[in-house]
Amino acid sequence: MKVNFLKIIIFSFVIFFLLIFWLGLKKDNSYNTKNLIGHRISSFQLPSIHNNDLISDEVLKQNQFTLINFFASWCAPCRIEHQYLIKIANQNKNVKILGINFKDKKINALDFLSKLGDPYNFVAEDPDGKASILFGTYGIPESILINKELNIIKKIIGPIDQKQFEEILKLTQ
Amino acid sequence: MTLRKIIIIYFFLFTSLQSDEINPELIEIYKNLRCLICQGQSIADSNSDFASTIKLVVLDQIKEGKTKDEIYAFLISKYGEWIVYQPSFNKGTILLWFLPYFIFIAGGLIIFLIIRKSKKNKVN
Amino acid sequence: MLSNIGSILVLLILSLSLLIIHNAYLEIKTNNQLIKKRIYNLSLFQTTFTILSFFTLILGFIYSDFSIVNVYENSHTAKPLFYKIAGTWGNHEGSLLLWINILVLFSYLFLIFNQQHDKKFRLYTLIFQNFLILGFVIFLLLNSNPFSSIYPVPLEGLGLNPILQDPALAIHPPLLYIGFVGCSIYFSAAIASILSEYNGKQFALSIKSWVQISWVFQTVGITVGSIWAYYELGWGGFWFWDPVENASLLPWFAISALMHSIMVLEKRNSLYEWVIILCLSTFILSVTGTFLVRSGILNSVHTFASDPSRGLYILFFLSLMIFTSLIIFFKKRKKENYNFNSNSKETFILANNWFMVFFLATVLIGTLYPIFLDVLTDIKVSVGPPFYNIVIIPLVIPFLILMTLGPKFSWINSKKEKLYKTLYVLLGAIIINLFLFYLFGNYGLYANLILIAATFLILHSILDAKKSIKNKKRFEYSRIISHLGFGLLVFFIGINHQHSVETDFNLKIGETKILNNYELFFENIKIEQNKNYKSVVGEFKITELKKKNIQYLNPEIRIYANPETLTYEAAIKSKISSDLYLTMSNVSRSDFYNIKFQNKPFMIWIWISAFMIALGGFVQLLQKKNES
């Protein structure tokens, strides 16, 4: 009797383990983006790239939605996603775009914007990259969509593609 | 005699050791943080961009006087639990911390029972 | 052409496995005491073809035959010859072929070296081993064929990862596989033993050498892997509790437990069921480890390129193995009566197994927990070195003490007086150590206790060694060597951990960094062009402030062309007392270089201790041959 009970327990354990392994195979192992959605972004204060002003989160409260986009002149995928940023700036008046220039030189960034177009309502500089950590980013390009209350609605890791572009438009109607 | 020889060797061993460098806690923190874009390396070991940025942030916070728990809490709030190699102690990880000891105690119990049973066998 | 030859050979191996299983099964039913010559021949052919197939793949790499997909993906004409050959097993498909080679070789060797054992037992072992072989060969053919061909034939290969071009890493897989895969034979033998209702003591004698061989190779394999990680990976550590490292450690704990329990089974014909469970668990752990490493389910520096279909197949195979062994075990097990004296060697061996199971369980739980949590609750956690250190270290202390006391007890009963005398002397030694440690160190409680316990074991083993040599008790040498090695390993790791000095800072060319004990001057950067890489060499002058001696260290950043990779080569000066360790990486888009400078005491002794542990097992292996 006791042995039968033991057998059942052992077999159940084994089946449980193998099941978890099987399910684990199907899981995606990549970055975890969900942990920040719904959270408020931290307060920040970054120097503007254009003048001596400081850009802070207070300014963003005036916008319906803000898309915070991390970019750099030396970043190749940033060039590819740039067209979508320009489209968003033109098509959607609800969304303002804040560009954060990550580990870059001012001259190069301004040159980049003059050549590829400037979709940004504000551009802040983050020369040592420390601000990116405040926003919980891993690298560039990355974009964070926030609302008027400064809560994160969507986080995009990597360049914005067509599908994400359409989703941004949908979320910011 | 042998004992005396061995003690002298020990004495010798320890004279070559050195005092700690400035801020060993910094390295301890670096080692406890995971480089999120690497395949299984700590911030201390990684040469990636992300790692060097995190190192700067940690340095800043230490200069501000934050404790290591505060630094961990800050980074966890940004990146989630998995940025820290030492799992925290909450209801999600209770099993993790207790199961090994539970198994240890269970094992000890089994051995104890076996020995007691074999003593009974002997008596019979 | 090589591709065709290889594929044919693999099909031959498959057919031979089926033939062997069929013939062996028929043979079991007959009443002959001797096994028909045919089965020996089939097994010999199988071994020959398997070795030939591996040789064929090696030839493909040597001659850069890029019509073979595997060679194309993992080699390059500019690769040095030694690494072309090592490339054969440095990839998933090739290493699988190596697995099969070891499975087949051990199958044959077990057959011919166990002629004094029961026929049914040997035949069942052969059958189940061949089921394992069949499983792996089918996996190879369906999913991971190293001989699949590509047309048109590419002109150049994709190259091997430069990090893998290292002598230690070249021999690390074969060594480890003899450990991992070697335990397959006693997995099969355990099932065979249950089915043929073989006598426990005879069973122990039949598998003893195989357990020793797999244990020695596993120990050496893990050590070589750590040495490689230390010298090549540039972080100055040698063990990270990375899932792949853990996967190699899990079988090690099981085999170590088995090494001890087998003694009880042999000498006292007891613990039969437990030995069977250990035999089954070891290979199950090996295959589980393979699953974790090759399926992509885990995130690690070491993983092969991952592929979920591989994972599915291995999982399926693993499930078959576990269910088959469980069903057979439960169906045919016999109740066992335990007859232990509480102060006998058996009890201490049980204690060893108890601790080994704990260590194994901890490492298993730590490795699997993130997977389980992620699947069940979608939360991602990391379980890293701090977890393992916190959970395991406290229990290493009683483990070391039991390890020291255990051998003192005799098999059935021990005189208590003899024991008290020894303890008394050693307790004195412990007190002296405590005194010394408080003079020189400022450790925490656990560090102190560990070093004391380790010293206890070391002292005791040295005194034991003197006594054994005097009394010419040869059979004790292996145990003393291994236990002494283990004590030294814990001791040196403990000191290394406490007194390692690690620094991390940014420096520009021409700058000097002043630390407590050292002064580092970043002299210059030199650029060199080598055969298949370009290297940026940093020239550093390091002055030790107290002793005023000067060392020059040159860490490198290597830029490889095929495939385009960046590696960081540490500059290491190994001395008897410590290693100086320097790595340099450039901080992107700046003039700064990130420097990691470390002083690590007694590193060489850590390697020596680890090899010493294996040496003990090797000595025991040789002894057995002398006795019989």
State whether A29 and C323 contact (CB < 8 Å): no
For residue C314, pLDDT beyond 90: yes
Look at C240-249, C283-292, C440-449, C584-593 and tell me which has the smallest mean pLDDT: C440-449
Q: What is the pLDDT of residues C214-236, one digit of tens each?
A: 999 999 999 999 998 898 888 88
State which of C160, C190, C224 marks the end of a domain.
C160
Q: Residue window 78-107, chain B: list those with CB within 8 Å of chain C.
A: 80-87, 92-93, 95-97, 99-101, 103-104, 107
Interface contact A18, partner C, CB < 8 A: yes
Q: For residue C569, what are the domain limits?
A: 502-604
Please count the CA atoms within 13 angstroms of the CA of C264 that sit on its side-chain side.
27
- Res C246: pLDDT: 94
Instruction: For C491-502, write each residue's pLDDT tens digit.
Output: 999 889 888 888
Is B84 a residue whose pLDDT tops 70? yes
Reported confidence tier of residue C430, pLDDT bands at 50, 70, 90: confident
What percent of chain C stands above pLDDT 70?
91
- Segment among A12-21, A27-36, A155-164, C344-353 with least mean pLDDT: A27-36
Instruction: Name the domain count of chain C.
Output: 2
Q: Tell me: pLDDT of C440 over 80.
A: no
Q: What is the pLDDT of residues B36-45, one digit of tens each?
A: 888 788 999 8
Measure Cα distances from C448 to A161, B3, C434, C482 in Å: 58, 20, 7, 23
Nearest CB neighbour to C358, from listed B100, B115, B119: B100
Min CA distance, C140 vs chain A (Å)?
20
Please tell me the number of Cα atoms within 13 Å of C335 on its side-chain side.
3
CA dist list (Å): C1 to C7, C51, C81, C146: 10, 18, 21, 14
More confident residue, C447 or C103: C103
**Mean pLDDT value of segment C185-192:** 96
Whether the pLDDT of residue C346 is over 60: the answer is yes
- pLDDT, one tens digit per residue, over C456-474 is 888 888 888 988 888 888 8
| Structure token digits, residue B112 | 């104890």
Q: Which of C96, C128, C160 lies at the terminal end of a domain, its last residue?
A: C160
Contact A21 C374 (CB under 8 A): no
pTM, whole model, 2 decimals?
0.92
Q: Which residues from chain A sit within 8 angstroms of residue B50, using beta carbons? A: 138-139
Which of A27, A31, A33, A35 should we substitute to test contact with B (largest number of B Cβ atoms within 10 Å)? A35
Rounded average pLDDT over A99-123: 91
Please determine, for residue B63, whether its predicted confidence score (pLDDT) is greater than 60.
yes
Domain boundaries, chain A: 1-30, 34-171
Cα–Cα distance, C489 to A1 (Å, whole number): 46
| Closest C-chain CA to B85 | C384
The whole-number average pLDDT for the span C26-42 is 82
The band of A98, judged by pLDDT with boundaries at 50, 70 and 90, is very high
Q: Which of B36, B60, B79 sits opposite A130 (nearest CB)?
A: B60
Percent helix, strand, coil in chain C (nearest 5)?
A: 65, 10, 25
Closest by CA position to C614, among listed C333, C229, C212, C338: C212
**Distance to chain A for C580, nearest Cα, Å:** 31
| d(CA C215, nearest CA chain A) in Å | 26
Q: C368 lies in a domain?
A: no
How much is the pLDDT for C413?
Answer: 61
pLDDT at position B80 is 86
Please report all neighbours of B, defined by 3+ CB atom pairs within 8 A: A, C
Residue C420 has pLDDT above 80, yes or no: no
- For residues C519-536, give the mean pLDDT: 89
**Domain contains C419:** no
**Mean pLDDT to the nearest integer, B39-55:** 89
- For the cut 80, the answer to whether the pLDDT of residue B11 exceeds it is no
CA distance C17 to chain A (A): 28
Mean confidence (pLDDT) of chain A: 88
| Position C540 in a domain | yes
The residues with which A143 forms a beta bridge, in sequence order, are A69, A156
More confidently predicted of A16 and C343: A16
State how far residue A117 is from chain B, nearest Cα, in angstroms: 27
Coil vs helix vs strand at C437: helix
- Asked if residue C222 is part of any domain, the answer here is no
Question: Looking at residues C8-27, what average pLDDT do you find?
Answer: 93
Q: Is residue C307 part of a domain?
A: no
pLDDT of residue C556: 93
- pLDDT (tens digit, 9 = 90+) per residue, C114-145? 888 888 999 999 999 999 999 999 999 998 89
**Separation CA B108–CA B98 (nearest Å):** 15
| Domain-located, residue C342 | no
Amino acid symbol at C505: F
- Interchain contact B61–C (C-beta under 8 A): no
The Cα C364–Cα C391 span in angstroms is 13
pLDDT at C589: 77
Q: What is the CATH number of domain A34-171?
A: 3.40.30.10
Which spans in chain A are helix H? 2-26, 57-60, 76-91, 106-116, 130-134, 162-171
Q: Is the pLDDT of residue C628 over 50?
A: no
pLDDT tens digits, B95-121: 999 999 999 999 999 988 888 887 777
B36–A130 CB contact, under 8 Å: no
